Amino acid sequence: MKKNRIFNTITLLSASVIVFIVLAALLFTGIIDEYNGQLLTLAGIYIIVSLSLNLITGFTGQLSLGQAGFMSIGAYSSAIAMMNFHLPLVVSIIIGGLVTAVFGLLIGFPTLRLRGDYLAITTLGFGEIIRVIMVNLETYTGGAAGLKGIPSFSDTGDFLKDSIIKFSWVYVFVIITIVIVNNLINSSPGRAIVSIREDEIAANSMGINVSYYKIFSFTMSAFLAGIGGALYAVYFGYLNPVMFWFLTSVNFVVIVVLGGMGSITGTILAGVGFTYIQEWLRFFKDFRLVIFGLALIIVMLFWPRGLMGTNEFSIVKFVRKYIRKEHEGGSSKPSKIKGVK
C-alpha cells in the first residue's frame, strides 16, 4: 500500500515537472513563440477558474453563473494589495484568494435555500452586483475607466524571459489547483460533496451535513476563482469591471461543460482548447462570435456529455499500464518456450 502511494506521488510529481520542462524548453528555444507562450499562460488562468467552477457545478451540482464575479474580487483585492499596500506578489495573490473566499462564504449562506435555476440566476445576480460595485468604488478600482499599472510577474524588458517567468508562475498555480481539487474530491469530504450532487435527500439521510458542505464547496470554489482572478490581474496589468460581466462567467460554464461536468482532466483540456479556439476565431473577424455560437449549439446537440463525461485521464494508471505491459512482455517469453516444449 505504502509503496503504491510513493509510486503515485513520484509519478505525478515527475509528470508535472516533465511537462513543465518540456514547455519551458519549447518556449526558450522559440519553438513555442512568445505569442503562444502568452496564450498558454492565459489558458492556465482559465483552467484555474474553470476548475473552481467545476468544483461547485460539476462536483457539488450547484449551477453557478457568477464565477466571473468571484474572479473580479480576487483580481481587484490582489491588485489593491500590491498597489496600495505594496505587498509582495505571492502574498497579494493569496490575499486575493482569501478575500474572495470570505465573499464565497457570505454568498453561500443565502443560496443554501435555492436550487437549480433559482440558484443560477441568484449567482448571476451576485456577479452583476459585484460588477456594479466595482464600477462605483472608483477610489480603489478606478471605476469604469479601469485600473492601470498593476505590477507584472516580471518586467525585465526581455520578452522571452518575461513570458517564461509569467508562464512558470501560472503553471505552478495550475498544478496547485489541480492537486487541491483532485485530492479534495478523492477524499471523504469530497465524496460527501459529490453525494450532494447525486441526491441531496439521500446524502442528508447518510449523516452528511449538506448545508455545511455546500458552503464549504462554495467557499473553496470562490478561493480558487479568486486566485485565478489575481493571476488574471497580474497577467494583464490592467483591470476593468467589463472584463467580468456575465458572459465571462458563461465562458467558464462553457469550458466546464465542454470538458465534461465533474472531470478535472476534461476541464484542463477544454481550458486550453477554448483559449486557442477563441484566438483562431479572430481570423474570422466579425464572424468570430457567430461561429463560436454555432459551435456551441452543435457541440451541445451532438456531444452533450463533453469531451470526457465524468471520466478522468489518469497519468498514474497510464504509467502503471505501460510498466505492466513491459513486465508481462518479459514474463510471457518463458511460458511460450514452455508451450513449445
Partner 1 sequence: MSVMEAKSISIVFGGLKAVTNFDLKLGKGELVGLIGPNGAGKTTVFNMLTGVYSPTSGDIVLNTSREGHNYKSIIKLKPYQITQSGVARTFQNIRLFKDLSVLDNVRIAFHFNVKYNALQGILRTTAFYNEEDEITEKARDLLKIFNLQDKEKELAKNLPYGEQRKLEITRALATNPKVLLLDEPAAGMNPQETHDLMNLISFIRNKFDLTILLIEHDMSLVMGICERIVVLDYGQTIAVGTPEQISKDPKVIKAYLGEGV
Partner 2 sequence: MNFMQEFGQQMVNGIALGSVYALIALGYTMVYGIVKLINFAHGDILMVGAFAGFFVLTANGQDPSKISNPLMLVLAFIIAMAVSALFGVIIEKTCYKPLRKAPKINLLITAIGVSIVLENGARVIPWIGPNPKQFPVLKDIPIIDGISQMIKAQTGVFISPVQILSFIIAILLMLMLFYIVNFTKTGKAMRAASYDMGAAQLMGINVDNIISVTFAIGAALAAAAGILFALNYPQVEPYMGIMPGLKAFVAAVLGGIGSIPGAMLGGFIMGIAETLTKGFISSKLADAVAFGILIIILVIKPSGILGKNTREKV
Residues that bind partner 2 (CB under 8 A): 57, 63, 110, 113-118, 120-122, 124-126, 128-129, 132-133, 135-136, 201, 246, 250, 253-254, 257, 261, 286-290, 292-297, 300-301, 304
Number of residues interacting with partner 1: please give it, by CB under 8 A: 29
Query: What single-letter DSSP state applies at residue 287?
Result: G
Residue closer to partner 1 by CB (options 213, 235) is 213
Cα 256 to its chain centre, rounded Å, is: 9
The item of partner 1, partner 2, none sharing an interface with residue 183, based on CB under 5 to 8 Å by kind, is partner 1
Q: How far is the CB of 190 from partner 1 (least distance, A)?
A: 7
Looking at beta carbons only, is 14 or 209 nearer to partner 1? 209
Of 43, 81, 208, 243, the one binding partner 1 by CB under 8 A: 208
> Is the CB of 107 or the CB of 210 nearer to partner 1?
210
Nearest distance in Å: CB 208, partner 1: 6
73 binds, among partner 2, partner 1, none (CB under 5 to 8 A by kind): none
Output 294-297 pairs: Cβ under 8 A, ≥24 positions apart: 296/254
Q: How far is CA 313 from the centre of its chain?
A: 16
- Report the helix count and the strand count for the chain, using DSSP H and E: 14, 2
H/E stretch holding 309 reads none
Q: How many Å apart are CA 128 and CA 292, to the nearest integer?
A: 24
* 209: DSSP letter: -
Q: Which residues in the 161-190 window bind partner 1 by CB under 8 A?
A: 179-180, 183-184, 187-190
User: Residue 13's closest CA among 319, 223, 260?
Assistant: 319
Among 194, 222, 230, 272, the residue binding partner 1 under the rule CB under 8 A is 194
Three-state SS for 130-158 is HHHHHHHCHHHHCHHHCEECCCCCCCCCC
Q: Of these, 199, 325, 326, 327, which contacts partner 1 (CB under 8 A)?
A: 199
3-state secondary structure of 335: helix
Length of the chain equals 341
**CB 211, min distance to partner 1, A:** 8
Contact residues for partner 1, defined by CB under 8 A: 1, 5, 9, 179-180, 183-184, 187-192, 194-195, 198-199, 201-210, 216, 310
